[in-house]
Structure 1
């Protein structure tokens, strides 16, 4: 069986393409903008709920709306970059993200905020795939391996900053709205760096955009997420069951449309032939449940902590050990992978499972109104972050390891589609499970469920072992 793990290059490093360090920094800085927005909003959910009188279901939609649009359009965003220039689309996306962030800050009702988050997700879909595609198209060999490792590590850096910045802003006199308007000066600074340093790149020829495919993907996710977030609050009216019944119909139509489009000789949103590269199906089989687990954990923990009296800053501080350990693991994983292969990811998933289990036990006696401090959860948070980092960072390189350079935008878009869909589904599905169990022992039971999910991920990582099969 062919290994799906990236292999060290044996060629002459002098002949390998690489991004100038300033260009790589500019690209990775662009990635931090949508990542920070996602996580800073999570720590501000308590303040948003109080100020806008938002129900738990609406708070799930504040998170999920962004992820749905992000996931539905990110492949289109990658395709636009392939056709019209990745730098050009990145600049456009950053500008749009800054403007849509101001719309979020100006929202006066929960519905307005959800609508603004939908639009913000559209702009984010233009940003993220250009970063990954620019790295993939402008680097080779060990330069690409190193850049992809930094891509994964940047998620840890951005998450740490999001917890601190988002928690500090939302918990200050500036309020939760500042979590959004801070994206304006941040976006302008990053945009200037991209214009100055990042080289332009694009595919040899333009391709048509599969808007029907994007619509079907959006419909599939919306039909699942909307009833799961609002059903419990509304006592499951008829429309929620109709939506859920429509999910397999929409999903089947999406798959059929993709196959038909490719048979006609056109390029669908997600070409079925892309899955002939073994790195794609195997890598996504590992990545998808991990993304769902992490998205679910972030919503459940942030909501639970707010219910127990932690302000946004204290929530952010309590999550810092996780993000710091995630960052360290992301950097170390790149050095361990060539020597230990898929075992790195297997161990990482099991460590994350142990961390979640420890966290559940650490808070199992927490009463309905009792509070807790960051010190009580620091060690299990760090263990969870360490494990997640050992899986998250390498899996990026695994998924893209066999994708040709001219399909870099498509491959990167597919990976980010799965990531955002997983994070959004996690918030909706895992969040609904937690809210259904209640704030009493619901957190302990939910996190133990997430620990079990990471054990499953550990088993799936063995599919990456080149000695199997």
Structure 2
């Protein structure tokens, strides 16, 4: 097992509550601020003067670029320094937020370029921040203190995603307007830089053989082409034509680049994505289920968009439907930590996934009266939050605790790549199914006798049901993946080091 390397001051340095708050603020910049577009995009699309397909692309492209480059950033964090990469990510977050906040209205190409450019930069920021911050948490904490710190890290990610719809709706309908979301992001990014100042550098032990091999540019390029072609096909399908020449060309491009990627990664030493990590059952189950549960973020864009159109709700009113989600996820993340300590990772991961699936299923009942649907969606989003709260810390700990220290940067990069790509692909497919379902003949839908209440919007509600049920399917697959791959008592978990003397133990996060 490779050793960690640190600056000379590391042995005397201890993480404090303020330092951990800085980590949380860095992580929350993506999950809270960047993700607000899931809720506010229906309201600002007309104001900016962009097409619906381009708006949907703007929603998913941030997670897409985060997923593409997060493994690269994780590897760079191991080699160049996790603190350096973390700082770079925070500065990129500031740049991306500024681009979006300053995006002009109705200027055609300039508007589209600044909006999409800002979203791409935000994705690159998340790619840098997530693996480096997670690796630093594992480096500076041990045992239960690490699990506690990971819970607060999860508050930044899962909690941020829980608050994004409500926060985005609140700011968009306030006198400050939707642009204030990204100005606040800039301010909190600067605060994070201040709180993290003085963090000693941390990196993995250098590998001379890896340095000689060089970077796997071929694998990276094939990976980029694969994911961009898939995302463009999904998000732009209604405009391009699903079976048009251009659409079929994108499918062919994705297939060829995917095969090239697999060939390179399985034949090259020092591959861009270390596929050997997936020989570890615990890591595989945690990562695959993480991909699928993050894909369920499509629930937000479909359900909240549906009530804004069908019921005339504002972005704030629709965001209030997710208040239970926010409260539940923040109050149950620590419960998930305790369940992990008592039962190991598998049971809380399964329980959390099952509760999440039930919650999304309730949100998919768009055939009811709107008042009934609103009640069920409030309950559904609350269960969604409870489930993710149970799942978050056990899954993260299972993924990181089962790999050697010298691979934690790459492993955390792959794990968070699963988060981002799941989010991007899940949102894109959910939105595409939502739009495609609306094209079904309303008379055919009415003939089924399933949709009660108003009949002038049955196609809209049918599209919503299709998009939401796809998210239920992803959760079902996640449950199956956990059952098959995660052992009840992981045999491949890397043992924790022997406890240090009391004066060397890292202080508990936030005093708990």
1:221-243 Cα offsets, whole Å, 9 max, x none, are 11101011111133333112111
Give distance in 2, aligned partners of 1:58 and 1:113: 10
C-alpha separation between the residues in 2 aligned to 1:101 and 1:172? 19
> Are residues 455 and 142 of structure 1, via their aligned partners in 2, closer, same or farther at CA, if it must alter by over 3 Å?
same
Distance, in Å, in 1 between the alignment partners of 2:488 and 2:376 is 41
Q: Does 1:225 align with 2:231?
A: yes
Alignment of 1:46-195 (within 5 A): 46-108=42-104, 109-195=111-197
Q: Secondary structure at the match of 1:195?
A: coil
Give the Cα–Cα distance (whole angstroms) in 1 for the partners of residues 60 and 27 of structure 2. 19
Aligned 8 A contact 1:47 1:176 in 2: no
Partner of 1:249 in structure 2? Answer: 256
Unpaired runs of 5+ residues, structure 1, are 1-14
Once the two structures are overlaid, the 10-residue window that deviates more, 151-160 or 310-319, is 151-160
- Native 8 Å contact 1:129 1:416 kept in 2: yes
Deviation at 1:343, TM superposition (A): 2.2
> CA shift at 1:334, angstroms?
1.0
Matched position secondary structure for 2:322: helix
TM alignment of 1:21-36, pairs within 5 A: 21-36=17-32
Task: String of CA shifts for 1:204-261, please: whole Å, max 9, x gaps.
Answer: 2265443332222211111101011111133333112111122121111112212232
Report the equivalent of 1:388. Answer: 388
What's the offset of the Cα at 1:182?
2.2
Equivalent in the alignment of 1:378: 378
Q: Distance in 1 between matches of 2:184 and 2:235?
A: 28
2:402 aligned partner: 402
Alignment of 1:273 with 2:276, yes or no, is yes
After superposition, the CA RMSD in angstroms is 2.5
Contact kept in structure 2, 1:353 and 1:384, CA below 8 Å: yes
Q: Is the 8 A contact 1:101 1:120 kept in 2?
A: yes
CA shift, 1:98, in A, is: 0.4
Q: How far apart are the structure 2 equivalents of 1:303 and 1:330?
A: 27
After superposition, residues 196-345 of structure 1 pair within 5 angstroms as 196=198, 198-205=199-206, 207=211, 208-236=214-242, 237-262=244-269, 267-292=270-295, 294-308=296-310, 309-341=312-344, 342-345=346-349
Is the Cα–Cα contact under 8 Å of residues 281 and 487 in structure 2 kept in the other structure?
Answer: no
TM-score where L is the length of structure 2:
0.81
Q: What does residue 494 of structure 2 align with?
A: none
For the residues of structure 1 that align with 2:274 and 2:479, how far apart are their CA atoms?
A: 28
Q: 2:357 aligns with which of 353, 359, 376?
A: 353
**2: distance between equivalents of 1:118 and 1:372?**
39
Q: TM-score, normalized by length of structure 1?
A: 0.88
Higher relative CO (Cα under 8 Å, sequence separation at least 6) belongs to 1
The gaps in structure 2 that reach 5 residues or longer are 1-10, 105-110, 439-459, 492-512
Give the deviation of 1:184 after TM superposition. Answer: 1.4
Number of aligned pairs? 444
User: 8 Å contact 1:81–1:88 — kept in the other structure?
Assistant: yes
Equivalent position SS for 1:174 = coil
Q: In the aligned structure 2, how far is the partner of 1:131 from the partner of 1:168?
A: 29
Deviation at residue 103 of structure 1 after TM alignment: 0.9
Give 1:28 deviation, angstroms. Answer: 2.0
- Could you tell me whether the CA contact under 8 Å between 2:29 and 2:189 is conserved in 1? yes
- 1:18/1:140 contact within 8 Å kept: no
- Render the CA deviation track for 1:98-128: whole Å, top value 9, x for unaligned: 0221112222323431232122212222222
Contact 1:45 1:302 in 2 (8 A): no
Task: Give the stretch that moved more between structures: 249-258 or 220-229.
Answer: 249-258
Counterpart Cα distance in 2 of 1:163 and 1:289: 20
Q: Is the 1:149–1:394 contact (alpha carbons within 8 Å) kept by the matching residues of 2? A: no
By how many angstroms is 1:51 displaced?
Answer: 0.8
Whole-angstrom CA distance in 2 between matches of 1:173 and 1:145: 41
CA–CA distance in 2 between the matches of 1:373 and 1:466? 38
Q: CA deviation at 1:374?
A: 6.1
Q: Distance in 1 between matches of 2:278 and 2:480?
A: 21
Q: Deviations over 1:20-50 (max 9, x none)?
A: 3332222122111111123212121112212
CA contact (8 A) 2:351 2:387 kept: yes
Residue among 474, 481, 484 paired with 1:460 = 481
